[in-house]
Structures are given as C-alpha cells and as structure tokens.
Amino acid sequence: MKYAGQFALFLLAMPAAALAEVDVSEWLCESCPFADGYHADFEAGTTYVSDDDLRYGNATGYDSDGFYLNVDGDGVYTSDGYRQTWRVADLGLDSRVVNIDGARQGAYDYWFEYSEIPSRVFGSTETIFNDSAGVLQLPPSWVAAGTTDGFTALDESLKSRFIESDRQMAQIGGRWIASDAFEFYADYSRQTRDGIDIKSGAGYTQASLLPRRIDFATDQANIGIRYHAGSGTLTLAYYGSYFDNRNSALSWQTPFTAPAGATELSMAEEPDNNFQQISLSGAFQADFWQSVLAFSASAGRGEQNEKFLDYTTNPNLATQALPRSSLQGEVDNSSYALTITSRPTRRVRLKLSYRYDDRDNTTAVDDWSRVITDVIPSGEVQQNVPYSFTRTRLSVAADVKLLDVLRLSAGFDRNELDRNYQEVAEQTEDSDWGHLRWRPASWFELRARCGTSRRDINRYDETVAMSYGQNPLLRKYNLAYRYREFGELSASLSAQSRPVSLTATVFSADDSYTESKLGLTSSDELRYTIDLGWTVSEALSTYLMHGSESVEAEQLGSAGFSTPDWRAAHDDEFQHWGVGMRWRPSGGKIELRLDYSNGEGDTDIRVDNNGVDSPLPTLTSSLDSLRAEMAWHWSDKLDLTLDIRYEAFETDDWQIAGVAPDTLPTILTLGASPYDYDVWAVGIGFRYYLGQQSLQLVN
Amino acid sequence: MSPHSLSRRILAQLLLLVALGISPGLMAQAEDSEAEYSRKGADSCFACHDDQATLAIFRGKHAVRQDSRTPFGHGQLQCEACHGPGGEHAGRVRRGEERPPIAAFAAGSMLSVLEQNQFCTTCHQDDLGVGWHGGAHDMEEVACSDCHSSHAATDPVLVTSLQAEVCFDCHQQQRTQAMKPYAHPVRQGKMACGSCHDAHGESTGSMLTQQATNDTCFECHAEQRGPYLWEHAPVSENCGDCHDPHGSNHPGMLSLRAPMLCQSCHSQSGHPSIAQDASGLPSGTPSALLLGQSCMNCHSQVHGSNHPSGSKLMR
C-alpha cells in the first residue's frame, strides 16, 4: 500500500500545466499493432441431435432430432477511423442472431440487429380442433356431450398440436454526434410473435383448452437529442410503442352440448394499443460538496380503441345495445424524479431522492349488461373499473468511510401509494436499512446488510371488499399490512496475486402479515451462494458454484365464507450446482472448456382442510446440463472444433401428470405431459480466421 | 476536440478532488512527488506488457489513431491516458527493490473506485446517463472495470449472450434463479440482464430500463398493456405481484402455484374459496379447480378482458 497514497496524491496534485505540457513528440507508438484492415473468424459445422423433444428446442432451436447445419462468426473492419463490426450466431437455427455495428468514431454510429427466440412449450399436446377460417372447428364426426366422458369420438379426433411460437426482433438505430454539445439518436424496432399458445375457452359450466393461433407485432421507436455543456447534460426523448394483434377475436365450436345459438363461442383477444411518451432528463455537477443533481420528467399516454365484439354470438338472446362500440380507453402516465448526491468530504457521501409516478386511467365508466357465456343474460349491470394510482418514493441515504477499511451506510425509504376502487386507498411503507463494509486487506471483504420495512394502510375497506363478494376477513397480500425483516452477509476473498477466489453470501427475509386473518399470512425466504474460483496455472482455471433458495409461505382460507377453515403451507426449494474448467495453454494446440450445471427444484404444498392433512405430491424439476468444447489449432488460420452438449430435464407436476384430454369431466384439456427428456447434441466444425489471429508488436 | 483535451478533462476532474478532499498535510506530501511520464509512451509499456490480452486493445474502440478522443488518438497519452504517469513504473529498479506500481483497474487496485472511475467518466460521462447518480451501482461504488473490459476487442458485457455471466459475478442469487425450470431465456444466452435492467440507471428502485415495472415488461409483452375494458387490479399496478421474472418453480414464472396464488386474493363464496387438496388429483375426484390450468381453465383472461361480457375475465 505504500505507493497507493503517493500515487493518488501524485495524480491529484498534478498542476494543469504539467499534463498539458507532456511532450509526446517522442511517443511514436512504433510498436503498436494498429489493426486497420479486416479481421474475422467464421465457424461452420454440423450438429447431430440425438432425440426428438420439442422442449429442448426452447430458446436453443434444437427442437427435433437429426442434423443441423450452423454458422457462427464475428468480424471487424477498421480503416481511417471508420469501424464496422458484425456478429452472427446460430444462423442455421431458430435462435439466430445477426448484429452489425458501425461507426466513424466521434462522428456517428449505427447498428442493426435481427434475432429470433423460439418458445417451445409442449410437444405432447393433442387437440380435436381444426383451425379453419378463423374458427377452431370440431371434426365432422364429433359427438357432443355434457361431460368429457360422453365424447365418444374423442380418441379418433385427437391429433398432435405443438404449443410453440417464435419471436422475431429487428432493430435499427443510429446516433449522430453533431458537435461537442449536441448529439441525436433514433432507433426503431419491430417485434413479431407468431405460433400457437394455450387459451381456455369457457362455455356455461364447461371449458376447452384451445390451441390459439397468435400473431402479434409491436413497433417501438426512440428518438432523442442530448445536449452536453460543461458540467451538465440534458436529454429530450420520445418513446412510442404500437401493438398490433392480427386477430381481434378467438372463436371456437364448443364440443359440449349447448343450447341452440350457443354452439359457436368467442372471446376477445388482446386489443391493439399504443403508448407514447415524452421525457426530459438531465444531470448537473456542482462544485459545492461535489454534488450532482439529476432529474427526469416524463409524460405518456396509452390508448386502446379496439372495436368491441357483441355481448354474445347467440342470436337467440336479446341484449342491450353496447354503451359504445369501442373502449376509447386512455391512460395517462406521468413520472418525475429528482436525485441529489453530495460528497461533503472524501469520507462522506449523501443521497436524497424523490420520485412521483402517476397512472391515471381516464377511460369513461359505463353500464354493461353482460351475457354469461352466450347462454343466459345475467340481468345484472356492471360498470367497468378504470384503476388509477399515484406512487411516491422518498429516499435518503448516507455513506461514511469510518476508517480506511470500514464503511457504513444507512438509509430510509418511504413509499406511498394512493389508489382508487380497491380495498385500500392509501398505504405507506417505511424502510430503514444499514450496510457495513469491512475490507481489512485488499484481498478480503466482509459485507453485512440488514433492515426492516413496515407497510401501513389507512384502512382495509371491507365495504369495498364485500361489494366484490369478498370475505371481509381477507387481506390481499399486495394491499395488506406487512412487516419485513431482512439481512444479508457476504464475504469475499480475492486478489490478483493469489490463485484462489472465494465468495459466499447468505440472505434472509421474513414477511409477516399479522393483521391478515385470511389470505397470505407469512413468507420467509432464505438464500445462499458459494463461488470458488481457482486459477491452477496460466493455462488452467476451474470454478465451483452453488446456490440455494428456500421460500416458505402460509395462507389461510375459508370455504365457509367465515373464519379460517383451511390452511396451505408452501415450501419452494431450489438448488443449483455448477462446476467447470478452462484449459488454454499458451502456444498449445488444444483448448478445452467444460461446464456442468445442475438445478433441482422441489415444491411441497401441504393443505390442512378442516383439520385433515392433505398434502399435494411434491412438484419436482431436475436439470442436468453438460457442455464440452474443444478446439484444435490446426494452423494459424484454421481450428477444428468439437462441441458436445448433454441435457436432461425432468419435471413431476401433479397439475398435468395423468390429466388426459377427458380426465376432467367439464374441461377438455390438451393432455400435456410433464417434461422428460435427455438429449445429446454433438457438433463438429471448423473455425477459419481471416486476417491475423494474434496481434504482434510491430518491432 | 483538441489533442490534449482528454488529459485536460482528466485533470479538471482530478483537481476537483484535490479541492474537496485533500488535507493541507497531504498536499505538502504531494508537492514532494514528481509526476513523470514514460519516455516513449506505449513503446515503453510494450517492452514488458506484450501479451495478447493487453494488445487486444488494438482491436477495440480505445485504440483508434484517427479518433483523437481515444487514448491512442493523435497526441494522446496512450497507455498512460488511463493508467497514469508511468515514468517511475517503467524506470530502472535497483536489485531487491519493489517496482513502483501503476494504476490498475481491478480488485486490489491502489486507486479507490472513485479514482478509477474518474479516468473512465472523463470521456464516458454521457454514457452513464442521468440515472447513474445515486443509483445502487453508484452508491455501492461499483467500478467501471468491474463490468467492462476496456482492452477486449469485444466487451463481453455488451454482448447479449455473454452479459449475464458478468452480472452473475456479483448477483449470484439471480444466477441461481435463472436456472429454475421456468425462467426467461437468460441461461440459454437469448436474453441479457440488460433486456430489463439498466446497469447505469435507477428509475424505479430496481434499475429497470423503463419508468415503471410494467412499462419494462411491456417492451416485450406489449399485448398486456391495455387498457382493457375489464382490468385486473394488480395487473395494472405491478406485474411482480404475481410473477417472479428471475425464475420460478411454477409455470408462467408465478410466485406461487395456482389455485393457491389466486386464492390469496379471491375469497368469494363458492368455488374460489374452497380448499384444493389431494382429493382433487386424478387418483381421486379430478378437480377442474386444481388440475390443468386451474383457475385459468375458465378465467383465462387474467391480464384483462376487452369483451363487453368479460367482467369475470373469462372472455
């Protein structure tokens, strides 16, 4: 440490003239390997996937067995201050990425990215429905019945239908640095998502899980101007989001016996919407106490005006006229934030921040005479409820360096939330916390953090609760009084000069809803992690990591619409292990990388129903993932590569295990099965280097 | 920008520190010191530091001769623009004597985090954005070099498929959660932490990219934005009331398994308040309230309904 203080002071005390007068005329950088020109590497090969399992293809693209051709690569071209980079990954898969960045540094830059993410949910699902002319239709030979056990044509009508979709994202943007003071930026992106997901369609007392075709598109744009001068910066920006659903309604023929006129049902799909926002933000540095004042303000409006469907598709039902043909829904959002940080001395740091957020749903309220599932008019008139809220947050914090090796931070936060139409109109949550950091040596640090928070409510309005038919003893967990205690301890040992690093953390939080007689009453969380890294030699490094999480929650319910007569205790556990190594000998012919990870999840739910203990089976998940990558440096220009992956994933889920399409008398399901696969994916290929692979000093 | 503007801006910020933080006694010590730069700049440094990791800077954005803003731009201080004067470090050392160190950007550096970051923010102040100040990373004194690799040709934290591993070095609990059976595709490298979080920002208390939690979710899930004719109150307030976006043991990243999650808030007389236990499994009397999609077997429009008859969120 003897040089540390000297060096810092050395820099700090340097007079301006000294730096300005550094004579760099002899600094010729003759040995510098400036990399003008082209440098790239391409990797091409083929991968064989051993098994046909849709779920393995989730986010990877390897959703069936067989051979896949694939290309990865990246490159950079530089010349005369112009720089362009490109990167492609998984080009042969449904998870492909193409990225291009370019810039004339200091003048402008631009970027383009196209990527896809495959979502592969179930490959085990079956349906009777045919997707035709925008209606999910029954097979011609279908025999309707009141319950699923009467579906005599079910077996012959079922056909496989995967639940899968693809998300495509294209983004283009650029920035123009007009001067030292001004820069402009803009980007535009388009996301599309198409495929099949699951939507349940309810009839009168029955429902069918439907393989719904989805076709979403979202356009987003950011445009801004940034002004920078001296110690301040200002940004004025616009953000717009435009969502388009190509399907406004989901219609299906019910497989259940239905009254005349109610055999074809429909539901509204997610409506088109748009959101636009203007924001102004800035930061200013002041000499006084080395302070920074940062602020942001934004105002936005969301709109939705999709044409309504009729109350019912049943022509035999007499209905009222709709109050209006579309919602003409509007939500105004506004946010303001101000943060001041100061450093009155080198050892003290202060922070004050305030934030205000408002969601004002100005959609008109009307009377709606609903029809229950196209069978009977309810006779009741309901008004739509446009929820609004205002949230404010005040935070103060101080950080004091008590000793060179000891820092103490403490703070207080107040969160207030005012809302309408709900059981709690006003709530306040006060949090206080402390944080101690002890670093007795450069290679060791101990941190301790703890705090409490108390969410108080002005009152839980049971009149409002009962107007929604709720048990007046229930306290919704997001509205209820809550007391929280939390603490975290972490220790880390690491030093550049030592080959071993170790970090361990433990975190605990206890939530108590002591005024809730029904609903969630407690939630306790315990997490810990251990990370060990060992650089065995210059060529070999290894790591071991472990993480564990446990969440225990309890809730009370009342089937008798009175005091509690049942109780559920939830115990969510998850464990993760990871181990791996890198072997990269300098000048060696072979590089090797190995990574193995394991994740095990267990959830126990014990239900005590009127004193009778009735636990549900344990929900389990088990993931084993192994990847070995080897590169053999054939020549300066060419590597041969071997990539071996193994993944096994298994879940045991009582919610779908053994639930065939006709297991539930009143619900026609898709018969999804829990996940269970083990897949090998073995790839061989080559990597070709264009340009110099390694950089060499010029002289 | 003039050739020496980089060093001048470094100096201006460091002088601010001097004005605010240095006691007269320490200043006296400092005056005894001499700030010597190396004789030949980078050529002096590369006499020893010629490994590929160091030289990789010539494939990155920091070593562009034509961009006078960069350390290797014309007239700039090359390695010493960031590492400080290296004359003493590069000079002769007597046998048995420790070589004077030079500023490093890593754990155990002789410079404080503030001092390290000053070197970066001299040029990258605007990149920090407004939200940095007072944010968690700022108050925790996270160094720029804790996340960024300034020498690498491609900074891993700026690549979607590589970013999470950088974040997980500190956020190890989130790494565990990302391994859960129902999680965003971070484990597969198809989403980055930065898809939702702004490491330089502090708009919501959780360093999200947008002004509110829901607005952040709507960047990819715009179909849920609404407003709907029939809103579900917690949905309009906070997606996190029901979902755990870092990962869950339950489908849909729900924080509890349905129907119990729904029954935490719905206690109406009749089917919403009936206990669902093992008797409703296929081996007993299969219950439509417990199995399949549970409550969502009928109430599929939990995010809101735009159907005139959809007040029960079934249509």
In chain B, domain spans: 1-152, 226-297
On the CB side of A419, how many CA atoms lie within 13 Å of its CA? 24
Of the candidates A324, A288, A295, A296, the residue with the CA atom closest to the CA atom of residue A308: A324
Quote the pLDDT of residue A43: 95
CA–CA gap between residue A85 and residue A105 (Å, rounded): 13
Which B residues in the span 163-202 are in contact with A, Cβ-Cβ below 8 Å? Answer: 172-173, 175-177, 179-181, 185, 188, 190-191, 202
pLDDT, mean over chain B: 85
Q: Which helix (H) or strand (E) holds A73?
A: strand A66-79
For residues A622 and A203, which has the higher predicted lDDT (pLDDT)? A622
Work out how many domains chain A is built from and give that number: 1
DSSP-derived pairing of the beta strands A329-345 and A291-304: antiparallel
For B94-232, list the strands marked E by DSSP. Answer: none
Residue A497 pLDDT level (bands cut at 50, 70, 90): low
Q: Span A225-237, mean pLDDT?
A: 91
Q: Who contacts B242 (Cβ-Cβ below 8 Å, separation ≥6)?
A: B234, B235, B254, B255, B261
Q: A180 to chain B, minimum CA–CA distance in Å?
A: 8
CA–CA gap between residue B205 and residue A395 (Å, rounded): 10
Tell whether A185 is covered by a domain: yes
Give Rg (Cα) of chain A. Answer: 31
Q: B212 to chain A, minimum CA–CA distance in Å?
A: 8
Quote the pLDDT of residue A443: 86
**Residues of B in Cβ contact (< 8 Å) with A468:** 268
Residue A367 has pLDDT above 70, yes or no: yes
**Lowest-confidence region among A14-28, A217-231, A300-314:** A14-28
Tell whether A353 is covered by a domain: yes
Best of A1, A2, A9 to disrupt the B interface (most B CBs within 10 Å) is A9
CA–CA gap between residue A182 and residue B125 (Å, rounded): 14
Of the candidates B114, B110, B121, B244, the residue with the CA atom closest to the CA atom of residue B182: B244
Cβ within 8 Å, pair A220-B219: yes
Which B residues in the span 72-91 are in contact with A, Cβ-Cβ below 8 Å? Answer: 72, 75-78, 84-85
Quote the pLDDT of residue A698: 85
Of the candidates A689, A696, A688, the residue with the CA atom closest to the CA atom of residue A38: A689
For residues B140 and B9, which has the higher predicted lDDT (pLDDT)? B140
Which B residues in the span 213-272 are in contact with A, Cβ-Cβ below 8 Å? Answer: 215, 218-220, 222-231, 233-234, 236-238, 241, 249-250, 256-257, 260, 263-269
Q: Span B85-112, mean pLDDT?
A: 83
Q: For residue A169, what is the nearest residue in chain B, using CA coordinates?
A: B220
Q: B43 to chain A, minimum CA–CA distance in Å?
A: 5
Of B78, B230, B277, the CB nearest to A27: B78
Residue A17 has pLDDT above 60, yes or no: no
* pLDDT digits 0-9 by tens, B240-253: 999 999 999 999 99
Cβ within 8 Å, pair A105-B14: no
CB of B33 closer than 8 Å to CB of A10 = yes
Cα of A163 vs its chain's centroid, Å: 21
Cβ within 8 Å, pair B175-A200: no
Residue A496 pLDDT level (bands cut at 50, 70, 90): low
Domain hosting residue A311, numbered range: 126-160+178-386
For residues B4 and B274, which has the higher predicted lDDT (pLDDT)? B274
DSSP-derived pairing of the beta strands A444-457 and A426-441: antiparallel
Of the candidates A68, A103, A58, A71, the residue with the CA atom closest to the CA atom of residue A85: A103
Of the candidates A365, A274, A307, A198, the residue with the CA atom closest to the CA atom of residue B306: A307
Q: What angle is formed at CA B50 by the lines to CA B160 and CA B100, rounded to 5 degrees?
A: 105
Cβ atoms < 10 Å from Cβ of A30: 13
Cα dihedral A566, A471, A389, A330 sign: positive
Q: For residue A693, what is the nearest residue in chain B, using CA coordinates?
A: B52
Cβ atoms < 10 Å from Cβ of A450: 15
Quote the pLDDT of residue A21: 65
* pLDDT digits 0-9 by tens, A535-593: 999 899 999 999 999 999 999 999 999 999 999 999 999 999 999 999 988 888 999 99
Q: Span A471-475, mean pLDDT?
A: 96
Cβ atoms < 10 Å from Cβ of B41: 26
User: Is the CB of residue B4 less than 8 Å away from at least one CB of chain A?
Assistant: yes
Quote the pLDDT of residue B271: 92
* pLDDT digits 0-9 by tens, B200-237: 987 667 889 888 899 999 999 999 999 999 999 999 99
Which amino acid, residue B301?
A: Q
**Residues of A in Cβ contact (< 8 Å) with B293:** 198, 200, 209
Beta bridge partner(s), residue A239: A222, A277
Of B17, B249, B297, the CB nearest to A601: B249
Quote the pLDDT of residue B34: 54
**Residues of B in Cβ contact (< 8 Å) with A349:** 139
Of A351, A386, A656, the CB nearest to B139: A351
User: Is the CB of residue B39 less than 8 Å away from at least one CB of chain A?
Assistant: yes
Supply A203's token pair: 């009839």
End-to-end CA distance of chain A: 35
Quote the pLDDT of residue A81: 81
Cβ atoms < 10 Å from Cβ of B26: 16
In the three-class reduction of DSSP (H, G, I as helix; E, B as strand; rest coil), residue A543 is classed as strand
Q: What is the DSSP letter of B243?
A: B
Quote the pLDDT of residue B15: 41
Of A5, A287, A669, the CB nearest to B292: A669
Q: What angle is formed at CA B143 by the lines to CA B177 and CA A285, rounded to 5 degrees?
A: 120
Counted across chains A and B, CB pairs separated by less than 8 A come out at: 537
Of A59, A199, A267, the CB nearest to B188: A59
Which B residues in the span 102-121 are in contact with A, Cβ-Cβ below 8 Å? Answer: 102-104, 106-108, 110-112, 115
CA–CA gap between residue A18 and residue A466 (Å, rounded): 77
Best of B15, B142, B172 to disrupt the A interface (most A CBs within 10 Å) is B172
Residue A669 has pLDDT above 80, yes or no: yes
* pLDDT digits 0-9 by tens, B281-314: 999 999 999 999 999 999 999 999 999 999 999 9
State the ipTM, two decimals: 0.93
Best of B1, B17, B66 to disrupt the A interface (most A CBs within 10 Å) is B66
Supply A355's token pair: 């934030």
Tell whether A239 is covered by a domain: yes
Tell whether A234 is covered by a domain: yes
pLDDT, mean over chain A: 93
CA–CA gap between residue A362 and residue A330 (Å, rounded): 6
* pLDDT digits 0-9 by tens, A416-446: 999 999 999 999 999 999 999 999 988 899 9
Supply B268's token pair: 């109406």
CA distance to A224, A294, B106, per residue, from A235 (Å): 7, 11, 32
CA–CA gap between residue B297 and residue B79 (Å, rounded): 64
CB of A627 closer than 8 Å to CB of A595 = yes
CB of A92 closer than 8 Å to CB of A68 = yes
Q: Who contacts A397 (Cβ-Cβ below 8 Å, separation ≥6)?
A: A350, A351, A409, A410, A411, A412, B139
Beta bridge partner(s), residue A173: A111, A187
Cβ atoms < 10 Å from Cβ of B298: 24
Quote the pLDDT of residue A186: 98
Cβ within 8 Å, pair B315-A373: yes
Of A20, A233, A341, the CB nearest to B134: A341
Supply A150's token pair: 């009467």
In the three-class reduction of DSSP (H, G, I as helix; E, B as strand; rest coil), residue A189 is classed as strand
Angle between helices B5-21 and A2-12 in degrees, nearest 10: 110
Cα dihedral B212, B214, B217, B218 sign: negative
**Residues of B in Cβ contact (< 8 Å) with A106:** 1, 67-69
Quote the pLDDT of residue B203: 65
CA–CA gap between residue A277 and residue A295 (Å, rounded): 16
Of B134, B288, B296, the CB nearest to A351: B134
Q: For residue A345, what is the nearest residue in chain B, using CA coordinates?
A: B21
CA–CA gap between residue A122 and residue A131 (Å, rounded): 18
* pLDDT digits 0-9 by tens, B190-200: 999 999 999 99
User: Is the CB of residue B155 less than 8 Å away from at least one CB of chain A?
Assistant: no
Residue B142 has pLDDT above 60, yes or no: yes
CA–CA gap between residue A693 and residue A351 (Å, rounded): 48
DSSP assignment of A117-134 equals EEEEEESS-EE--EEETT
CA–CA gap between residue A287 and residue A342 (Å, rounded): 10
Q: What is the DSSP letter of A171?
A: E
Q: Span B84-95, mean pLDDT?
A: 87
CA distance to A461, A471, A479, B241, B264, per residue, from A476 (Å): 12, 11, 5, 11, 6
Q: What is the DSSP letter of B125?
A: H
CB of A209 closer than 8 Å to CB of B293 = yes
Residue B35 pLDDT level (bands cut at 50, 70, 90): low
Beta bridge partner(s), residue A552: A524, A571
**Residues of B in Cβ contact (< 8 Å) with A291:** none
Best of B123, B211, B220, B295 to disrupt the A interface (most A CBs within 10 Å) is B211
